[in-house]
């Protein structure tokens, strides 16, 4: 029997703030074996029935809206989520000329990834409409095809920042995608496991370009791999505990405070 439970719902993440999530099995189309094994989505908090149902419903709704009205219809519904993420003092701040207490941000996928070009086009339409909101994402969908071309257009928006997510198993493909894309669009995010492949750092040193590279030492349950210290890398301060997580929806989150990954 078909499941007619539809609706889009955000997650309020203690590290990033407002985020949208999708199920990994249906959307992480280029996940490596290492990524699947180390993904923080394997953690207990993400395995509850409520969290799984939310991600499944988000995906089911995206597919339904794309089938019924294409990227335009999906973008209309994503717009409601971006409105929900607007800081509650946004209107007063706009009238008075002051800044909001927390920035207006949206992470596209705290779990999940971009799985088709039409889905990316919907997010591009949404981000184009909400120029005051800052969007950012990490992706492994960088095989050379229509999906990556569409993602590059999304990442090119002035209020959006895309990061190619690489690890010991896919860093060569990530570097190749980076070099083929227009300059200054993409940056690199490194999943640093405890046994990082020996070729990763030399390959990064071989890049003849100015490039931000953020490193995420593998972490789980408050513990993390020993961070690799290298002038090329900026280690995520939230992972190593320099910026504490916050459960309060209207408080500044670590990603918003650091802002290294944001546009």
Give the tens place of pLDDT for each residue, 54-88. 999 999 999 999 999 999 999 999 999 999 999 99
Residue 131 has pLDDT above 50, yes or no: yes
Residue 222 has pLDDT above 80, yes or no: no
**Section 238-255 average pLDDT:** 88
**Residue 93, both tokens:** 């701040």
**Residue 262, both tokens:** 């944001």
Structure confidence at residue 40 (pLDDT): 81
| Average pLDDT score, the chain | 94
The residue with greater pLDDT, 95 or 247, is 95
Question: How sure is the predictor about 1, in pLDDT bands with cuts at 50, 70 and 90?
Answer: very low
Give the H or E element holding residue 80. Answer: helix 49-84
Q: Give 233-240 contacts, CB < 8 A, sequence gap 24+.
A: 233/190, 234/260, 238/15
Q: Residue 125: exposed, middle, or buried by beta-carbon count in 10 A (0-12, 13-18, 19+)? A: middle
Please give the model's pTM, rounded to 2 decimal places: 0.95
Structure confidence at residue 2 (pLDDT): 58
b (16+ CB within 10 A) / e for 107-119: bbbbbbbbbbbbb
Structure confidence at residue 148 (pLDDT): 97
pLDDT tens figures, 169-204: 999 999 999 999 999 999 999 999 989 999 999 999
């Amino acid at each position: 029997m078909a499941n007619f439970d539809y609706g889009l719902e955000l997650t309020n993440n203690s590290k990033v703030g407002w985020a949208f999530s999708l199920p990994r099995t249906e959307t992480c189309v280029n996940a490596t074996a290492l990524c699947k094994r180390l993904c923080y989505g394997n953690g207990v908090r993400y395995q509850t029935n409520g969290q799984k149902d939310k991600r499944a419903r988000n995906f089911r709704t995206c597919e339904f809206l794309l089938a019924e009205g294409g990227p335009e219809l999906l973008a209309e519904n994503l717009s409601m989520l971006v409105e929900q993420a607007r800081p509650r003092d946004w209107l007063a701040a706009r009238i008075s000329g002051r800044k909001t207490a927390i920035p207006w941000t949206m992470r596209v996928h705290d779990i999940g990834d971009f799985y088709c070009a039409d889905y990316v086009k919907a997010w591009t339409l949404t981000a184009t409409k909400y120029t005051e909101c800052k969007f950012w994402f990490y992706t492994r969908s960088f095989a050379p095809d229509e999906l990556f071309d569409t993602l590059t257009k999304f990442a090119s928006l002035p209020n959006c920042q895309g990061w190619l997510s690489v690890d010991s198993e896919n860093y060569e493909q990530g570097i190749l995608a980076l070099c083929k894309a227009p300059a200054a669009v993409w940056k690199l995010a490194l999943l640093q496991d405890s046994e990082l492949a020996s070729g990763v750092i030399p390959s990064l040193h071989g890049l003849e370009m100015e490039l931000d590279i953020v490193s995420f030492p593998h972490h789980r349950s408050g513990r993390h791999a020993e961070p690799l210290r290298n002038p090329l890398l900026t280690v995520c301060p939230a992972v190593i505990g320099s910026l504490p997580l916050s459960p309060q929806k209207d408080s500044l989150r670590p990603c918003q405070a650091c802002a290294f990954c944001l546009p």
